[in-house]
Chain A
Amino acid sequence: MPDNEVVIKVENLNKFFPMKKSVFSRAKHFLHAVDEINFEIRKGKVLSLVGESGCGKTTTGKTLLKLYEPTNGKIIFLGRDVTHLLNTDDKKWFHSKTQMIFQDPFESLNPRKTIFDIVAEPMNIQNFGTLRKRELMVMEILKRVGISPPDAFLWRYPHELSGGQRQRVAIARALVMKPEFVVADEPTSMLDVSIRTQVMKLMMELIKEMNMSFLYITHDLAVARYMADEISVMYLGRMVEHADSEELINNPFHPYTKALISAVPVPDPEFKRKFVEIRGGIGKPIDPLPRCRFYDRCPFAMEICSQKEPELIEVGENHKVACFLYNHERR
C-alpha cells in the first residue's frame, strides 16, 4: 500500500441514540452523539479526537469500528465501503484489520482468562495459524510491549498484574495481528503519571514500527499534542475545528478551542495563563436546534449564530473551523 494512502475515511457520519420513555413507546427524541462528522486518516498517521466528556469521542470510535451501527453517513476502510457489513467474510476481514484499546485496563481484560488466552483471542477468532504459531506471536508481542520475560506471564491472570502491565497486555492483544487501524480510547487516563509516559512512548514507537493508523481519543490536549499528527476538536457531537497538531495548539481559531487550550494547567509556576471566560457548562445534544452548539456559552455569539449551524470551512492549509466569525475571512 502506498505510504500516504487513506486508510479510513468517514463522510457525514451520524450516530443518534433514541431517547425512549419506555420499551413500548417509539422514540420521539434523539441524542445526537455524533453529528455530521468528516475526517480521514492516512497510513501511519495519528488523528486525535479531543473535547470534554460527553462530546461524542467514544461514540465516534465505536461507530468507526462497527461496535455501533451508524445512523447515517459512510465509512470507507482501505477503499471499501464498510458502513454496513452484511456477510460474515466481510466482517471477519474488517475485524482482522481493526482493533480497539479501551480506557480501563481493569475492565477490558477478562478476569477469568490467562494472559496467553487474552492476547491470543484475536487470532483464535480469526482461526489464524497453528497453536505453536500463535504461541510464538503472543510471546513476541508481549516482549515488545515490555511484559518480560513473557513466559513468566503467559499463565497468569489480569488481577496479578499492575494497571500499567494490564494496559500493556491490552495493547499486545490489539496489536498481535498487526492491524491497519486502531482506535485507542483514553488509553492512559487511568494510569499513574510515570506509567502514563511509559505507555505513551511505547504506543508511539509501535505506531512507527508497524506503520499503523490510529484514532487516539483523549480529553487531554497536551497528550494529543504529543501523540497525534492532527487534532480534531469536538463539541456536543460536532467537529468544531481540525488542524495539524502544532497548528491547532499554537493557532486556534474557534472560541471553544481557545477556551479549551487556555484552561489546560501549565506545569510552570512562573507562567501566567490568559483566561478565556466562558459561561455555564456543557449540556446534552438532544434534538439540537439548528444553530451553533456553542452559542449559549460563546463570548462572541452573534445573531446569525442562533439562526443556523456553522459549517466547517477552510481557514488555512489543512485547518478547518466551524464558526461564523471566520465565515467571510480568509487568511
Chain B
Amino acid sequence: MRPILELRNLKMYYDTQAGQVKAADDVSFVLNEGESIGLVGESGCGKTSVSMSIMRLLPENARIISGNIFFDGRDVVKLSNDEMNKIRWAGIAMIFQAAMNSLNPVYRVGDQIIEAITAHEPNVTFEEARQRVASLYKLVGLDPERMDNYPHEYSGGMKQRAIIAMSLACNPKLIIADEPTTALDVIVQDTILRELEKIQRKLNMSMIYISHDIAVIAEVASRIAIMYAGKIVEMSDSVAIFKRPAHPYTVGLMSSFPSIRGEKKELVTIPGEPPNLLNAPDHCRFVPRCPFATDECWKAVPSYTEIESNHFVACFHPQNLKKRVSINA
C-alpha cells in the first residue's frame, strides 16, 4: 500500500485578540491509497481546521506554524498558490459541511458541475464535460435528466448527491467529506453513505470522513482517528477502536452512545465539557474529565505513541491493553 496523504506534526493555529487558538496541535496520520479513514470528535475540536489545512483553504488569521502535509509525495504546506490551485479538486476534493447550500440558486445544477470541470481542464469541450456530468449523475444515483434543473427543484438529499458528483468531477485521488450527511434525515443519510462507500471502492479513491457521530464513522471507515481539543488522541483500525478503546476519552465515548442494537444499556456520561482551545495549557487536555488521571497528567502533555501494532494513543495510562472489553453488540 502506498501512502497518498501524510500529516507530520501539523500545527495550525488561529491568532485572535484573546490569544492563540491551537486548532490543530501536532496532528500526524497516514492515509493509504484506496483507504477510508474517519476523523471523529465533538464540535470545536479541530476537525474542519485539519481538513482546511490539507486543502490550504485557511482564513487570514490562520497560520500553519510547523509540520508537513505530504500529498502524493509533495508537501502541500510549501506549494505556491498556483500549484495548490491545480491540486484542489483535481487532486483533493472536499465535500463541505452543508455544501448543499453552496449551490448557486440562479444556475442550473449540471452547468455548475460543467463549470467546475472546464475550469480545471481547459481542453475538455462543453459536450465532453456534459457527457461526464451525465455519467457522474448516474454514479451518484441521480437521473441525468435532472441536470438542467435549478437547485430549488432538488431535495436536500439530491443536492448533496449533486455536490458529491461535483467533488468527483475532476477524478480526485482523495476526497475529504466534512460532515457530509449531518443535516440530512436518517434514511437519506443512509443511502448517501452507502453511495459514497460504493463509489470509493469502485474508483479506488482515498477518503477522509469527518463526523461528530461515531456511529456514522463506524459504517464507512476502516481506520478511525479520535480528536480531542486540537489533537488526535487515539487512532487505530475501527474494530480496535470500538472493541479495545485505549484512550479514556474514547472509552467514555463508547459507552455514552445510545444504540438501537442489542440490549438496552445504561449510558455512562463523561463529566464536564470540552475545553476551549484558547491558550492551551501544558498538560493533558482531558485531565479535568478523566477518571484515570494522576499527578503526572497535570504536569505534561502525553506523547502520541504506538502502544501496539497500528494503535496510536496519547495518554499516560492507556486502557484495555491486551484484554477485550465488551461493548454493546
For window 60-102 of B, CB contacts with A under 8 Å fall at none
Whether a CB of chain B sits under 8 angstroms from the CB of A265 is yes
Bound together, the chains give a CA A195 to CA B257 distance in angstroms of 11
Write out the residue numbers on chain A whose beta carbons fall within 8 Å of the beta carbon of B283.
none
Distance in angstroms from B73 CB to nearest chain A CB is 30
Write out the residue numbers on chain A whose beta carbons fall within 8 Å of the beta carbon of B42.
192-194
| B260: contacting residue among A197, A221, A270, A278, CB under 8 A | A221
- A193 lies within 8 A of B238 (CB): no
Contact segment of B5-13, B187-195, B300-308 = B187-195
Bound together, the chains give a CA A237 to CA B282 distance in angstroms of 54
Known: A194-B274, A221-B260, A225-B264. A263 touches B187 (CB 8 A): yes
Bound together, the chains give a CA A220 to CA B258 distance in angstroms of 10
Bound together, the chains give a CA A263 to CA B188 distance in angstroms of 9
Known: A192-B42, A225-B260. A278 touches B242 (CB 8 A): no
Distance in angstroms from B30 CB to nearest chain A CB is 20
- B186 lies within 8 A of A52 (CB): yes
Closest to B187 in A: A263
Tally of contact residues, A, Cβ under 8 A: 39
Closest to B222 in A: A269
For window 174-213 of A, CB contacts with B under 8 Å fall at 192-195, 197-198, 200-201
Chain A 249-275 interface mask (CB, 8 Å, partner B; 1/0): 100000000011111111111110101
| A268: contacting residue among B157, B270, B271, B327, CB under 8 A | B327
Whether a CB of chain B sits under 8 angstroms from the CB of A2 is no
Whether a CB of chain A sits under 8 angstroms from the CB of B104 is no
Whether a CB of chain B sits under 8 angstroms from the CB of A282 is yes
Known: A265-B216, A268-B327. A164 touches B273 (CB 8 A): yes
Distance in angstroms from B57 CB to nearest chain A CB is 25
- B185 lies within 8 A of A265 (CB): no
- A263 lies within 8 A of B186 (CB): yes
- A266 lies within 8 A of B274 (CB): no
Bound together, the chains give a CA A284 to CA B174 distance in angstroms of 37
Point out which of A162, A201, A221, A271 has the most chain B C-beta atoms below 10 A from its C-beta: A271
Whether a CB of chain B sits under 8 angstroms from the CB of A246 is yes
Bound together, the chains give a CA A200 to CA B185 distance in angstroms of 21
- B215 lies within 8 A of A197 (CB): no
Distance in angstroms from B162 CB to nearest chain A CB is 14
Whether a CB of chain B sits under 8 angstroms from the CB of A149 is no
| A267: contacting residue among B155, B215, B271, CB under 8 A | B215
Give 10 A-B pairs besides A193-B253, A226-B264, A267-B218 with Cβ atoms closer than 8 angstroms.
Answer: A192-B43, A192-B273, A197-B270, A249-B260, A260-B186, A262-B190, A263-B186, A269-B239, A271-B329, A275-B194
